[in-house]
Chains A and B, each alone.
Chain A
Amino acid sequence: MSGMDGSASGATTSGEEGEAMAERRGDGWKLGRREFLIAAAAAATLPPQPAAAASPWAERPGGKVDRVNFVVWTYGDIYTKISKKFVDDWGVTVDSTISSFNDHPTKLMTMYAGGETIDVSQSSPFSFPSFISQGLVEPLDGLPGAADYLADFTQSAKQVAVYDGKLMGLPYFSTVWVWSYYTDLLDKAKFEPFTSYDELLEQLRKAKKDQIVDYPIQWIAGVGLEQLPGTWYQLTWNRGGRFFDKQGNHQLGPGSIARDTLKWWIATFTEGLADPESLKVQFTSGAKAFTAGKNLYRGPNHHYGLNIMNDPSQSPIAGKVKVWGSPGDGKTIGDTHVYFLCTANRDRDWAWKLLQYLGGKTKDGAYTQADTLARDAMLGSGYASVMKSAAVAEGWKPWGEPQKILQIWDKATYVGEVCNSVYQPWHFPWTDRVNIEVQKALTGQITADRCCDTLITAIKEVQKG
């Protein structure tokens, strides 16, 4: 994973190994000289650490609580085991509030506004700046072991979890956007996986014309932060464009790559090549829909969709879905989701302990949850040492080709580089407009030019609040 920054080594990997891995995996999310200077400056601004215990994760917090709680979105049953481990290790009950991904911000917000106690919660990178600006997130600087975690962060994890020079969260998981294809249909059409967008369009047209399938491609373009906008970000970035530069200036004007990409994308809908359900599916439902075997290709989205598409208990086409990198230089995007310590906690030290169980190390010093997420759910980690471990190299094998995905991973850039507005509290309302206007463009209600012009106007509107 390019997030392997080759910086200070983690608990389980030596610095030498880290450097070797980073070198072997290219320079996508690798820590460059500039990034190193930024990271060093950020680290320098952190408060001095108290004399830390050798293994702070094994120390019992001083305060006394009878329970702790977390508020998260659902993902399988990943929270059952880790909650039990916390109870077994510390004898403190863990309460959980689990809602759907889309409902999580609302659930968290209502609990917070209602004055309820929340020790730990989680956030997508897109909501995190908003949560921080609303005062939900407590900085972790100075907490026992926090600096060690930061040293093991991948670049992607740093870009999300370090905000204004402060450590604000621990990584939940990392993901990278990959293409997928269904081998049976590709064989039937006698195609090789595409190597350019022109070739892709030709293949889609031919597959439809030859009646291989009605709709050769499924896009993940339902309303949300990581569906429709994510697909547009990925396609644009791969073609050499971006949405905002470092100074925050939009890159959506006439002749921009984002605008041209949208025009190309619209063509797949107007020519009837894209499955109409594309505009409704979320990342998980899209993976499930793909298992019906009615599309040749699935547009770029989280790599871990493979754990549905290639799971024999969920997919009739299990084992026949392969990942594919993006055309050209293969650039793609990735992101990291985080757990954070909520300001509405009951006891900061115990909340920090619980946070570590979800996003850091357990009492035995292992990244138990990150390891489990990799092995059970094919999720990537925000910790360099976990990404280099067998949890990924072996744990991902039941669903895909880990090495191939890691090669794609090396070419991934954090989505914040592509769309700098993710660091702004107005990114979320602006994304609302992106969802609306781009869907209108994809369904032929407006042109790509009008869509982009409207989105440019909307930037100022949402900035005003």
Chain B
Amino acid sequence: MGARRVRPGGELSPRALAAVMNLPSLVTLALVLAYPIYYAAYLSFHKVALAELRRGVFPFVGLDNYRRIFADPLFLLSLKNTFIFTVVSVGAEIVLAVTIALLINERSVPLSRVTRVLILLPYAVPPIANGLIWAFLYNFDFGFLNRILFGAGVITTPIDWVGNPQTALYVLTIPYIWRTLPFAILLVHAALQGINPELYEAASIDGATAWQRLRHVTLPLLRPIIVVILVLRTSFAFTVFEEVLAITQGGPGDATWVAAWYSYRRSFAPPFDIGVGAASAYVLAFAVGALAIAYVKMIYRRIE
């Protein structure tokens, strides 16, 4: 075996070289990804609070942490809110990303380089800073949003944007979409530039209208990148946290409690029940994983 791996002259075989070259990445990934994932799973089956963490002794409780979260109406509500938040934000992101990318890609639409950069700017804003910015924008008494609308004569009394339990969750999606949309635009725009212009020329010669070119040429060719965006954005939207922390803290009432907020509160607020927090995080991870697999299967089956 050793003789096969090392070629005459001391060179490694391609397979061995590949293994050696990948080893650092694999070790790093194992340390920073696999171990925390394993450890969180381990915690979710044990009683883990402050005293246990300090002692390093975690009593095994089996599925008790999972039983507790599924018996907690707040957890089920958090899951429901997370699902609604994800559907609304990811759906809006896909539509907006495709629309804006098409506009940017259209040579007949004059856009300066500055404008193109500005479109990408929100992606550079740290999530927590984004949350704070929108908290100021949404402020009932002094918020810029109410001031602008009031000044424009659109409203006569200020709107309590995040104070209305019926609308708070939907209002919360806007800062999130604002922050994450540039990423989706970038991907769609890159995919658009990869489409062969001859396809459009051929379609035009065949008499296709602009709408027909979009529907029968552009969108089918964008489908793979849309799958990628769906998978990525869904998994990120499922773990939304910073905007909730900065803008609503789960309120009013439980209107904006989402799964990540639930895990955080269970783990890092007294009585610091980290085992329960880990269990809720695992349920969330499984939900994201199942959705990602479903997306990929569904969309690629259509392509085939």
Docked complex: B233-273 residues within 8 A CB-CB of A = 249-254, 257, 265, 268-273
How many residues does chain A have at the interface if contact means C-beta atoms less than 8 Å apart? 40
Interfacial chain B residues near A426, Cβ < 8 Å: 271
Q: Is the CB of B54 within 8 A of A113?
A: yes
Docked complex: A280-308 residues within 8 A CB-CB of B = 280, 289, 292, 294
Q: What distance in Å separates the Cβ of A445 from its nearest Cβ neighbour in chain B?
A: 5
Q: Is the CB of A292 within 8 A of B141?
A: yes
Docked complex: B8-66 residues within 8 A CB-CB of A = 49-51, 53-54
Interfacial chain B residues near A179, Cβ < 8 Å: none
A58-102 interface code vs B (CB 8 A; 1 in, 0 out) = 000000000000000000000000000000000000000000000
Given contacts A106-B268, A289-B141, A292-B142, contact A134 B49 (CB under 8 A): yes
Q: Is the CB of B50 within 8 A of A134?
A: yes
Stretch of B91-99, B159-167, B294-302 lying at the A interface: B159-167
Q: Is the CB of B164 within 8 A of A425?
A: no
Q: Is the CB of B140 within 8 A of A277?
A: yes
Q: Is the CB of B163 within 8 A of A276?
A: yes
How many residues does chain B have at the interface if contact means C-beta atoms less than 8 Å apart? 32
Closest residue of A by beta carbon distance from B249: A223
Q: Does chain A have a CB within 8 A of B89? A: no
Q: Does chain A have a CB within 8 A of B139? A: yes
Q: Is the CB of A439 within 8 A of B54?
A: no
Q: Does chain B have a CB within 8 A of A127? A: yes
Q: Is the CB of B270 within 8 A of A105?
A: yes
Q: What distance in Å separates the Cβ of B51 from its nearest Cβ neighbour in chain A?
A: 5
Q: What distance in Å separates the Cβ of B190 from its nearest Cβ neighbour in chain A?
A: 39
Q: Does chain B have a CB within 8 A of A196? A: no
Alpha-carbon distance between A289 and B142 when the two chains are bound, in angstroms:
9
Alpha-carbon distance between A344 and B160 when the two chains are bound, in angstroms:
45
Q: Is the CB of A436 within 8 A of B253?
A: yes
Q: Does chain A have a CB within 8 A of B74? A: yes
Q: Is the CB of A127 within 8 A of B270?
A: yes
Q: Is the CB of A112 within 8 A of B50?
A: yes
Q: Does chain B have a CB within 8 A of A437? A: yes
Q: Is the CB of A130 within 8 A of B271?
A: yes
Given contacts A276-B140, A277-B140, A294-B141, contact A443 B269 (CB under 8 A): no
Closest residue of B by beta carbon distance from A435: B251
Q: Does chain B have a CB within 8 A of A29? A: no
Given contacts A276-B163, A294-B141, contact A440 B254 (CB under 8 A): yes
Interfacial chain A residues near B252, Cβ < 8 Å: 279, 439-440, 442-443
Q: Is the CB of A436 within 8 A of B163?
A: no
Q: What distance in Å separates the Cβ of A231 from its nearest Cβ neighbour in chain B?
A: 15
Interfacial chain A residues near B140, Cβ < 8 Å: 275-277
Closest residue of A by beta carbon distance from B274: A113
Cβ-closest 4 pairs across A and B: A440-B253, A113-B53, A428-B270, A130-B270
Question: 21 A–B contact pairs at CB < 8 A?
Answer: A105-B270, A109-B50, A109-B270, A109-B272, A112-B50, A112-B54, A113-B50, A134-B51, A134-B271, A223-B249, A276-B160, A279-B163, A289-B141, A292-B142, A432-B265, A436-B253, A439-B252, A440-B165, A440-B253, A443-B163, A445-B253
A contact set with B: CB distance below 8 Å: 105-106, 109-110, 112-113, 115, 127, 130-131, 133-136, 214, 223, 275-277, 279-280, 289, 292, 294, 344, 425-426, 428-429, 432, 435-437, 439-440, 442-443, 445, 461, 465
